[in-house]
Structure 1
Amino acid sequence: MTEPIVRVFPDRASLGHAAASDIAAEIRERLGLQDAVRMIFAAAPSQQETLDALTAEAGIDWERVTAFQMDDYLGLPDEAPQRFGQWLRAAIFDRLPFKDVHLMRTDGDAELRPAEYATLLDEAPIDICCLGIGVNGHIAFNDPPVADFADPLAVKVVELDSTCRQQQVDDGCFPTFDDVPTRALTLTVPRLLDVGRMFCMVPGPAKAPAVRDALQGPIAESCPASALRTHHGCTVYLDQDSAHDLD
């Protein structure tokens, strides 16, 4: 097992610029060795600084990059601004000339959507995953009650726990707790870990306990992000606030 590289920065802005520089270097290197790059992106305010900086990076042939999203809510209209697909379109997908962008469908029969998205993911290896950590330690929408480190599925429908739903309110994404959907579509923990490189950006004081548990607690489904410590190539980017509780 290779422990993640952990980098700590003074603030969110410097974290975002450093992470974007590293991600861009990884994309350029892979494009120099292979025809295309496939990437998974998380949608959250914690990712904004990194994605802003990434869109400004030069020397990347984005027309050879295919993008996927990590998770999304069920039960919201396609045009709802809270949809993660919509957030990612505004943050990066519509700002760069990607080869393809595969947004999650959540309309119709939700039970059919996981297999459809898993098929798209499985067409070729995923090279890079850009993600964060939730206040309850989740990665994607794998909250502690539903996280499964041996999950046989690549994508599944999950019930969101109350801590996760409250985070969406605290992040300013929804006006009230009752407005937050109760179900979502998510990549599973094993599917997230089955990528070449992982870049995990986690700023802010609210994330400090989850960061401590993920990096220094047991590797357990009670803190899904602790699974990042089993990945062969993960870098975690923190600011002073999120690193506060580390030994």
Structure 2
Amino acid sequence: MNKKVDNLEVNIYSTRELMGDAVAKDVKAAIDQLLTHKDMVNIIFAAAPSQRDLYKSLLRMDIPWEKVNAMHMDEYVGVSAEESQSFRNYLKTNLFDLIPLKSITYIQGECEDIDAECQRYASILEVNAPDIVCMGIGENTHIAFNDPPLAKFDDVEVVKVVELDLICRQQQVNDGCFSSLDKVPTHALTLTIPVLLSAEYIFCVVPGKTKEQAVYQTIHEDIDELYPSTILRNHPQAKLYLDTESSRLLES
């Protein structure tokens, strides 16, 4: 099933596997199109279990990864790259170590000077402006770690430190990333919403029953910072990919 809500193309698939294959084909097509007029493509990736099917499918695609610079959108403060819960570890294990990327630039969440790290990563993004963003939506409708009610559509920062809200932290437990709420870090570094929206293409992958309410809000609420993901409806080339579980409330 396909439909359009404002500018946002919404695609619903019967299985997560079919969803992942469809997103991967669209990502490849975007990379190929960009390479017709660029030497390199800059992609920002999300690190979350919701992206698993996309990454599995990307590994099967014939993509010129040697022409891709990879970045990611957030990282916990105080968590090292070696820890299983770090987003760097997730991306290395599930994608980055398995493909011959031109470059990979990580957010160093465990560094001593967090403000300096924000500036360092912001300067990299200014040189390597994102062409493609592969992302998800949180249970509280966050994109990256821009949680309501503090998310800003007109944020002047590029990368910043945020305090994670309770719903966001509980989601990390629900996803199986942490054993209990008290284990989940309270702060993270995140790319801001304007940076994500600056990409030419946005591919937003949101499967699973725990996301059904967030998906409904993304589609039906007014475009408002209280529901950060609603801003995707303003982007000229954003696509939302759902399975039957995450789209259930749309069909009732």
- Scaled to the shorter chain, the TM-score interval is over 0.9
Match of 1:226 among 218, 227, 230: 230
- 1:9-42 CA deviation, whole Å, 9 max, x = no partner? 0011111111111111111221232111000000
Match of 2:200 among 196, 201, 222: 196
Residues 1:162 and 1:230: Cα distance change in structure 2 (over 3 Å): same
Contact 1:73 1:181 in 2 (8 A): yes
Matched, 1:66 2:74: no
In angstroms, what is the RMSD of aligned CA positions? 1.2
- Provide the residue aligned with 2:18 in structure 1: 14
The within-5 A match list for 1:94-243 is 94-106=97-109, 107-243=111-247
- 1:185-237 CA deviation, whole Å, 9 max, x = no partner? 00011111011100000001110110111111111111110011111110100
Matched, 1:79 2:82: yes
Distance of 1:161 and 1:194 partners within structure 2: 25
- Provide the residue aligned with 2:96 in structure 1: 93
- 1:31-62 CA deviation, whole Å, 9 max, x = no partner? 2321110000000000000011001101x211
Runs of 4+ deviating beyond 4 Å: none
Contact 1:2 1:233 in 2 (8 A): no
Distance of 2:233 and 2:241 partners within structure 1: 14
Distance of 2:249 and 2:116 partners within structure 1: 41
Residues 1:146 and 1:15: Cα distance change in structure 2 (over 3 Å): same
Matched, 1:30 2:26: no
In the alignment, structure 2 segments of 5+ residues that lack a partner are: none
Distance of 1:178 and 1:208 partners within structure 2: 25
* Identical columns (%): 43
Distance of 1:66 and 1:108 partners within structure 2: 26
Contact 1:2 1:231 in 2 (8 A): no
Q: Secondary structure at the match of 2:131?
A: strand
2:65 is matched by which residue type in structure 1? W
1:75 is matched by which residue type in structure 2? G
Residue 81 of structure 1 deviates from its aligned partner by: 1.0
Q: Secondary structure at the match of 1:86?
A: helix
Using structure 1 for the length normalisation, give the TM-score.
0.97
What is the aligned length? 246
1:215 is matched by which residue type in structure 2? I
- 1:44-94 CA deviation, whole Å, 9 max, x = no partner? 000000011001101x21111000001010011231111101100111111
In the alignment, structure 1 segments of 5+ residues that lack a partner are: none
Distance of 1:124 and 1:177 partners within structure 2: 36
